[in-house]
Amino acid sequence: MTSDLAQYSVVLVYSAMAVYLIAFISFILDVAKRSGDVQLERSARQEQRAEARTVATVQGGTVVLERVGAPVDRPRSGSRFERVGMAMMVLGLVIHVGSIVLRGVAAHRVPWANMFEFSLTGTGIIVAIFLAVQFWQNLKFLGVFVSGLVLILLGIATVNFYVDVVPLPPALQSYWLVLHVFVAICGTGFFALGAGLAVSQLVQTYRQGRGGDVKQLRFMETLPDADRLEVMTYRVLLVGFVLWTFTLIAGAIWAERAWGRYWGWDTKEVWTFIIWVIYAGYIHARATRGWRGARSSWLALIGFAAVMFNFSVVNLFFKGLHSYSGL
């Protein structure tokens, strides 16, 4: 029964990946449509400006000058491709959650005790955070980044990290596994979203530095400007930093209960602290040293690269008390 549930979980993983692929393609088509719409709008506005004329009318004894035929700014609404992409992300998450639940039921525990399970749950959290933040801010333009990242991570996890359900090592048989690792996953989700915003900010900065006349990046005109993107990056990463701080503290408490010491310079502990230092430096530099714009975005991306290094290289090639990759 346990093996059957684990296999059903894998089937749902592949099903979720297929849905995320549809979402990715839809978001790509939305980007292409945005570029085309921007070009058409530019042409229409130029024609309107050429045809516009000034008309003088008398209202209540006052001469009023009115620009007839002048271009009018209209708010842009999401395309049908964007709506399809968001719908597929919601459907993909439902299937994704089903795979996580089945894996947990098969293992009789929370499903994040090895690299495969961490990847499975972590990618689900990334999608959930992406969808949840839409109620705070319209970040649908990150759909390409999020769906693409989730597809890559799930593909690597199912091909390279998959392991059968096995009992927990003694050190992991603790309620701290539920709390500590789940908060770490949530922090990683916010760091991933912040990385997507940082990339968008860098691209927008480049486009604006070229006077906005970059044919391949016309769709960026439909996104917030570079300053606004940088502020959103900071706010998202601030939430991730708070969660990561709790992860570091909770990990030390768990280490004392499991191994009798709060800190032992284990490789995983060191890299968790390095990540914390990078993001603390990002927040400090931005708040006190005026590191705004491209410099802060590059630092944010360095932090996310450290997160990915900690998850992949440290787990696979460094031995220590935290070697729970399952491989």
Assign 75 a pLDDT band (cuts: 50, 70, 90): very low
Whether pLDDT at 311 is above 50:
yes
Q: In this structure, which long-range contacts are made by residues 82-85, counting pairs with CB atoms below 8 Å and at least 24 apart in sequence?
A: 82/26, 82/27, 82/30, 82/140, 82/143, 84/22, 84/23, 84/26, 85/23, 85/24, 85/26, 85/27, 85/30, 85/140, 85/143, 85/147
pLDDT in tens, 40-67: 555 555 555 555 555 555 555 555 455 5
pLDDT of residue 74: 46
Q: Side-chain half-sphere of 105: how many Cα atoms within 13 Å?
A: 13
Q: What is the pTM of this model?
A: 0.85
Residue 2, number of CB atoms within 10 A of its CB: 12
User: What span, in angstroms and rounded, lies between the C-alpha atoms of 60 and 212?
Assistant: 44
Per-position b or e across 70-86, b if 16+ CB within 10 A of its CB = eeeeeeeeebebbebbb
pLDDT of residue 86: 96
User: What span, in angstroms and rounded, lies between the C-alpha atoms of 165 and 153?
Assistant: 20
Higher pLDDT, 299 or 63: 299
Assign 327 a pLDDT band (cuts: 50, 70, 90): low
- Highest mean pLDDT pick, 205-209, 307-311, 314-318: 307-311
pLDDT in tens, 88-133: 999 999 999 999 999 999 999 999 888 999 999 999 999 999 999 9
Token pair for residue 140? 């649908």
pLDDT of residue 42: 55
Assign 299 a pLDDT band (cuts: 50, 70, 90): very high
Residue (of 5, 310, 18) closest to 164 by Cα position: 5
pLDDT of residue 72: 46
pLDDT of residue 78: 65
pLDDT in tens, 173-228: 788 888 999 999 999 999 999 999 999 999 888 887 766 566 666 777 778 888 89
pLDDT in tens, 143-161: 999 999 999 999 999 999 9
- Residue entry with tokens 């000034």: 54
pLDDT of residue 98: 97
Assign 73 a pLDDT band (cuts: 50, 70, 90): very low
| Residue at 236: amino acid letter | V
pLDDT of residue 8: 93
